[in-house]
């Protein structure tokens, strides 16, 4: 007499048959949902939704998501929606901490010659920031050590880009953007234009590390995952010019301990700059009187063509 199950009818065989039947049922559902989008008139919508369905179902099947976990996920997304308003975008924060924002940026800003690298936009950009002249001060009362920022904007051939619009914004030394104060102040942000030689310059404040908003569901996720909400110190830029690819980026402070632990994965080596501290009494580039120490940095920006193949 053979061993139990050697004829393919024992418990092991039954278990294998059951697993195969379960897998077939799960795959059949995935196939039906994918097929449901086949009639979409928009080809891109069809491609995106069918791929999303395949990957989402694969994730659910891989982790064997429980119904309780599914409910927790729905509650998390609902909470993210409730805390989002015209000054706070929790879904951008979620995208940021999952690395989805940086991956999308990498896909859409293909490497081209010596063009400056892009990084995350962040949730605190505001349209219609005040205009300043070159050499002006974006701080407008924001607390922090004064910082002189200068550089040029050129194309990848090295030709200057006059009239490029540069939007700049940053947190104050306490780690808050103006919109987080809730008193309608405008500080730590402005826009200016490059001169005929592509040059630009302005006063701001020396960037300092700060946490992304972590009093909501994204913060709870980070805490549960043992991750810090802190961002490496940085200064935001958005640069636009006709015929050239819009650049959204920021620069980081060399020596910052958070460069390897930025909560939104935004740091790139090419964007790490020296912010040289100047002793009290050091003459400033424009003759401005500064009490105490100040810093200075240079950021030369190179814009890729508006439509460009990878290179």
What pLDDT does 6 receive? Answer: 57
List, for residues 142-180, the tens digit of each pLDDT value: 999 999 999 999 999 999 999 999 999 999 999 999 988
Whole-Å CA distances, 220 to 67, 79, 153, 230: 21, 11, 40, 14
pLDDT at 261: 95
pLDDT at position 309 = 52
Taking each helix axis from N to C end, the angle separating 90-97 and 217-224, rounded to the nearest 10 degrees, works out to: 20
Cα distances from 145 to residues 138, 236, 240, in angstroms, run 13, 17, 28
The confidence band for 8, taking pLDDT boundaries of 50, 70 and 90, is: low
What's the rounded Cα separation, in Å, for the pair 92 and 1? 66
pLDDT score for 9: 65
CA separation for the pair 215, 240 (Å, rounded): 34
pLDDT at site 64? 98
Which has the higher per-residue pLDDT, 60 or 88? 60
List, for residues 224-260, the tens digit of each pLDDT value. Answer: 999 999 999 999 999 999 999 999 999 999 999 999 9
Q: Measure the CA–CA gap between 149 and 201, rounded to whole angstroms.
A: 6
pLDDT at 11 over 80: no
The percent of residues in the chain predicted with pLDDT above 90, rounded, is: 86
- Provide the pLDDT confidence category of residue 124 given band limits of 50, 70 and 90: confident
pLDDT of 3? 56
More confident site: 149 or 87: 149
Over residues 103-115, mean pLDDT: 95
pTM of the model: 0.86
Tens digit of pLDDT for each residue in 27-43? 999 999 999 999 999 99
* CA distances for 208 relative to 10, 190, 251, 310, angstroms: 66, 18, 12, 34
CB distance 157 to 304 below 8 Å: no
Q: Could you tell me if 142 and 195 are in contact, meaning their C-beta atoms sit under 8 angstroms apart?
A: no
Give 103-106's long-range contacts (Cβ < 8 A, gap of 24+). 105/248
Q: What is the pLDDT of residues 189-208, one digit of tens each?
A: 999 999 999 999 999 999 99
310 pLDDT above the threshold of 90: no
Judged on CB neighbours under 10 Å (0-12, 13-18, 19+), 228 is middle
Position with higher pLDDT, 306 vs 88 = 306
């Amino acid at each position: 007499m053979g061993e139990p199950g050697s004829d393919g009818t024992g418990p092991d065989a039954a278990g294998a048959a059951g697993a195969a039947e379960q897998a077939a049922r799960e795959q059949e559902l995935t196939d039906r949902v994918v097929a449901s989008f086949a009639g979409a008139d928009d080809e891109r919508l069809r491609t995106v939704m069918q791929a999303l369905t395949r990957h989402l179902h694969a994730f659910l099947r891989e982790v064997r998501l429980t119904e309780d976990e599914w409910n927790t996920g729905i509650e998390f997304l609902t909470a993210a929606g409730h805390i989002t308003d015209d000054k706070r975008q929790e879904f951008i924060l979620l995208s940021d901490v999952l690395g989805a924002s940086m991956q999308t940026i990498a896909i859409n800003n293909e490497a081209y010659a010596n063009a400056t690298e892009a990084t995350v936009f962040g949730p605190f950009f505001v349209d219609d920031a005040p205009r300043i002249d070159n050499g002006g001060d974006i701080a407008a009362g924001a607390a922090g050590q004064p910082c002189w920022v200068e550089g040029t904007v050129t194309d990848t051939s090295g030709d200057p880009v006059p009239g490029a619009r540069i939007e700049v914004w940053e947190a104050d030394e306490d780690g808050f953007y103006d919109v987080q104060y809730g008193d309608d102040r405008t500080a730590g942000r402005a826009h200016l234009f490059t001169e005929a030689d592509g040059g630009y310059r302005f006063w701001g404040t020396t960037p300092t590390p700060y946490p992304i908003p972590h009093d909501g569901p994204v913060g709870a996720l980070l805490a549960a995952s043992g991750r810090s909400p802190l961002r490496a110190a940085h200064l935001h830029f958005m640069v636009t010019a006709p015929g050239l690819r819009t650049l959204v980026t920021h620069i980081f402070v060399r020596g910052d301990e958070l460069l390897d632990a930025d909560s939104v994965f935004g740091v790139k080596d090419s964007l790490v700059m020296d912010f040289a501290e100047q002793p009290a009494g050091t003459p400033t580039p424009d003759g401005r009187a500064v009490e105490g120490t100040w810093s200075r940095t240079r950021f030369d920006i190179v814009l890729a063509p508006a439509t460009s193949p990878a290179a």
